[in-house]
Structure 1
Amino acid sequence: MAIHLDGRPADTAVRGIIIMNVFVAIGALVSGDGMLMLMWPYWIQSVVIGYYAMRRIQKLERFATDNFKINGAAVDPTPQTRRKVWTFFLLHYGFFHLVYFMFLGAFSAAGVMGEVMATADAPSPWAPFWYGATLVGFLVSHGESHREHVAADLRGRPNIGTLMFVPYIRIVPMHLTIIFGAMLGGTVGLLLFASLKTAADVAMHKVEHRMLQGARA
């Protein structure tokens, strides 16, 4: 693991995030399925981010609960608090993505996304393999950052409330670009959308990285 001169863990995950975004954009262009081939992989990426966030909370050994409350009451840094936090996060974050999944599935089945965002008449037959490949890619690219953060968490005493909140800060700009990108079409629109999404992804990763460093401090 790379370390800065001041002892902070180096942020080495940006390269992987950029590579995966470029990989997804190229796949969308080659397939001819346009935005359809972008939105599903980005949904997968969001789920991967949530999974690693939950695992970080589960792996906490020492953590702070300053200014953090459950049902309006202050809590102590105990295993019970840790379990409540990651369980709530799983249910809340998971429900949001379940609803998102249902909308994407309905739009895809109805052909709405194809009419607006695709250049091909039907999704590519290799789409399931493509989605599987993007899942593996995002697991690897975000897994590198996850390992660095967990190692630093174990050396410090991060605030569990911050760890639960940060993933939402990370994905909201990403999903806003997805929503507005759905209004675009054609190759130019796809490239513009992919570029904006990549920029938002990297920027919010940097914000997350700094917030978590502050939480550990």
Structure 2
Amino acid sequence: MFFEDRMAAAKQLAAALSEYRGKQPLVLAIPRGAVPMAKVIADELDGDLEDESGWIYLADYASSVGATQQYIDAEVSAQLEVMRQRRAQYTPVRPPIDPASRVAIVVDDGLATGSTMISALHAIRAKNPRELVCAVPVASSDALKKVEANADRVVCLSVPAHFQAVGQFYGEFPQVDDEEVIAILAGSTHPQAG
């Protein structure tokens, strides 16, 4: 399956997630590329929009490629600091929306390795959502298998046999900059009662 752009993919994902309309889902975007997509999905499902930034996933092979524990610890600290800074930059005027007892839909523009999505799913799972959903337009089969073990449900529109990069399945796949993310998230400052 080929997508014109992220917005076209988001509309198709929203249609595939239509059963959540009216259930006030919390739609969490993996920054930055998925934020515009998650906005479309949240609007279509009458849900709330939030960015997801808060957990580190270490690939199984990290130590086997020569990474020392000291290096891994330093990298984890550095990544947590980056996530803290992004959170402060993206949504400085409000606290994170609590996913507890809600349907939480974590959106990304695609899964190459699945590591980022797994990190996001772990972060949200720790906050006790009623249901944890991964939603992506496209994924490699390996990534999809890894992610399925970490979500209650996975909605993936396409699992192509010859997957090299997420961007190859989009006609237009521009970078999403911080300013666009900030503008989108600034428009979602009033979460619904859940």
TM-score normalised per structure 1 = 0.31
TM-score normalised per structure 2 = 0.34
Larger Cα-atom Rg: 1
Q: Whose helix fraction is larger, Structure 1's or Structure 2's?
A: 1
Structure having greater relative contact order (Cα 8 Å, sep ≥ 6):
1
